Amino acid sequence: MKRTSALSFGLRATLSSGLVATALLASCSSPSSSDTTVGTTNASDTTAAAAPVAPANSPLQVVAQFREPQMVGVAVLPDGRIFADFPRWDNNPVAPVAEVGPNSSVKPYPDANWCTWNETVRNEPQKHWICPQSVYADKAGMLWVLDPASPGLKGTVPGGPKLVKIDPATNKVVQNISIPESVASRKSYLNDVRIDTQNNYAYITESGVGSLVVVDLKSGKARKLLATHPSMMGDTTLNIKADGHEMIDPTGKRARFNADGIALSQDLQYLYWKPLTSYKLFRIKTEALRNPALSDAQLGQQIEDLGKVSACDGMEIDAQNNLYLTAFEDHSIKRRTPDGKIETVLQDPRLEWPDTFAFTADGTMYVTTSAIHKTPTWNKGVGKQDQPYTIFKMQLPK
């Protein structure tokens, strides 16, 4: 499938960076059958090199691969069902949220109607995936989809930003929370979500403006917190690299990606986050985030700077409270132990921009690759993706 714009850095972009996206494809047609296998043809404007080769004895196992469209997120249910999301950035996927089947097949989820976004449904932005960014399975086995509703990263569709809960037992939407424009502005990009099933709250990183969004799942009320606080903002003074090359956009600006990675401690007492283009990690007590009486200034005083970690995209915490990070600068997965030690879990050249984690109760780690650094935005308009977007899995190390 031909790439249609140079703005494929996707979820991690800050709209304030000055980049201008070209038009998104006009429509999303429904699939002709219930299952589709994603094609493996290279994009016509892509200069592909030899794909990286697995090192000897790599623990990573390929679960699924997709040449196009670009895939970023993964969620795995207790019964083993796997879901992925394909945002509407440069491409217009038939299944922007999909259940992944054998041989990398994808089934639009929860159905083809939800996956349709074209002129015929423009007046129903809450009933369709516009640009879904994140899929997440909570501890109760429910699937959540976060839709920032900013196709092509050109700005949110009015009425479109939403957090949606789906019951996989029935494949039906059971809760649909609209995020108002006062919380998710036109320049916002809701990025990643964690669900606290004990207190019934959702915590969301928002990378367009740079903020946290906290949602009371009982009332459906969402609040924007800490907007443009230093802990939310990417650092443009850093020489952030991928594949050894500094990420410079077509205007000559260094990449600046705001609040992105997010994780909840196992006891639900702390929320961790970091801007993508930053080497700093932060956390705050979730109790403070749930207190509407606290001002941003008061919340800011409770933020803990946990020091230096790798630049990373996704984060997740295991049962032992090790914080895992997808370290894209050196094709690795790292973890921060509870005592603050940084360890390299593995390094594999196939981890071309490792993106999002999903951990399962049996100790399996799933991780996606989105190859954001290979997209045209960061390569003078020429896509250089040299392998399919991949879902890997491996056992979590002890």
At residue 120, the 3 state secondary structure works out as: helix
At residue 172, the 3 state secondary structure works out as: strand
- Domain residues for the domain of 159 are 10-49+56-395
CB 26 within 8 A of CB 66: no
**Spatial separation of the C-alpha atoms in residues 12 and 374, rounded to whole Å:** 14
| CATH number where 328 lies | 2.120.10.30
Please name the amino acid found at residue 271: L
The per-residue b/e assignment along 352-382, b for 16 or more CB within 10 angstroms, e otherwise, is bbbbbbbbeeeeebbbbbbbbbbbbbbbeee
Other beta carbons within 10 Å of 300: 15
**Spatial separation of the C-alpha atoms in residues 146 and 262, rounded to whole Å:** 14
- Asked if the structure places residue 4 within a domain, the reply is no
**Spatial separation of the C-alpha atoms in residues 15 and 378, rounded to whole Å:** 15
pLDDT digits (tens, 9 = 90+) for 260-276: 999 999 999 999 999 99
At residue 286, the 3 state secondary structure works out as: helix
- Asked if the structure places residue 2 within a domain, the reply is no
Tokens 């290979």, located at residue: 374
- Asked if the structure places residue 264 within a domain, the reply is yes
**Spatial separation of the C-alpha atoms in residues 25 and 29, rounded to whole Å:** 11
**Spatial separation of the C-alpha atoms in residues 88 and 381, rounded to whole Å:** 18
Tens place of pLDDT per residue across the chain (398 aa): 333 333 333 333 333 333 333 333 333 332 233 344 333 333 334 444 567 888 888 999 999 999 989 999 999 999 999 999 999 998 899 999 999 999 999 999 999 999 999 999 999 999 999 999 999 999 999 999 999 999 988 999 999 999 999 999 999 999 999 999 999 999 999 999 999 999 999 999 999 999 999 999 999 999 999 999 999 999 988 888 998 888 888 888 888 899 999 999 999 999 999 999 999 999 999 999 999 999 999 999 999 999 999 999 999 999 999 999 999 999 999 999 999 999 999 999 999 999 999 999 999 999 999 999 998 888 888 888 888 999 999 999 98
- Asked if the structure places residue 91 within a domain, the reply is yes
Taking alpha carbons only, the member of 94, 36, 52, 28 closest to residue 388 is: 52
- Asked if the structure places residue 155 within a domain, the reply is yes
Taking alpha carbons only, the member of 270, 264, 6 closest to residue 138 is: 264
pLDDT digits (tens, 9 = 90+) for 47-68: 445 678 888 889 999 999 999 8
pLDDT digits (tens, 9 = 90+) for 19-44: 333 333 333 332 233 344 333 333 33
Burial of 295 (0-12, 13-18, 19+ CB in 10 A): exposed
Q: How many domains does the chain have?
A: 1
- Asked if the structure places residue 1 within a domain, the reply is no
**Spatial separation of the C-alpha atoms in residues 71 and 97, rounded to whole Å:** 10
pLDDT digits (tens, 9 = 90+) for 79-115: 999 999 999 998 899 999 999 999 999 999 999 999 9
Tokens 């705050």, located at residue: 284
